[in-house]
Amino acid sequence: MLIQTDEIKNQKIDLRRQAHFQKAQHRRAAQRGRTLKEEISQLKKSLQAKVTYRYCGRFFSTAEIDYIRALIVSDKHYNRAELSRVVCKKLDWLRPDGQLKDMSCRVAMLRMQNDGLIRLPSPKRTNGNGRISPKLTSASESTNSITTSVHTLGQIELHRVDATKQSRLWNELRLHVGSI
């Protein structure tokens, strides 16, 4: 019997606390010029803003991801590099030397896209970080292939490539050998 009265007493205390909490919520809402429903809506928004995602060592709130989404939609002319610079400036994402962390931002946005959070514009360059493939000349058309092992060739000499013309030839031959 004593246990039941303690339980009833605890329930009454809980009910008083809830009533006090509700009155306090109403008071706070009224002070801010809102209804209780508007206050609850605002609390939900602030809780959603605290949900975070972590990319490239930085935490992004849902509000920041929403900002990135809105930025992508607002100006279709931004490429990925420009987007990363604008986002870094807005979010104050800097390296210790004060420069923008735009490459980290690009990686983070690509991962956000892979996770389905944002949709980036398609890349402007599609051939591997903007590298231009060398043009093939008659030098790479040779059909003479070496089919023996390196050990049977004898002494091999390596020369440093200094001139632009030699460098182009090297890149062309390297590309050609890689495609055989």
Question: Looking at the chain, how many residues does it have?
Answer: 180
**Rounded CA separation 1/32 (Å):** 47
- CA–CA distance, 88 with 68 (Å, rounded to integer): 10
Query: Would you write out the chain's pLDDT as a tens digit for each of its 180 residues?
Result: 444 566 666 667 767 777 776 777 777 777 777 777 787 777 766 655 566 888 998 889 888 999 999 999 987 788 899 999 999 999 999 998 999 999 999 999 999 999 999 999 888 766 555 566 667 777 767 666 777 888 888 888 888 888 888 888 887 777 655 554
Please tell me the pTM assigned to this model. Answer: 0.47
Model pLDDT, residue 2: 44
Phi, psi of 167 (to 5 degrees): -65, -40
Are 34 and 43 spatial neighbours (Cβ–Cβ below 8 Å)? no
How far, in Å, CA of 126 to CA of 45, rounded?
39
Rounded CA-CA distance 168/175 in Å is 10
- Give the C-alpha separation, 27 to 36, whole Å: 9
Residues 6+ apart with CB under 8 A from 124: 79, 80
Question: 40 and 26 in contact (C-beta within 8 Å)?
Answer: no
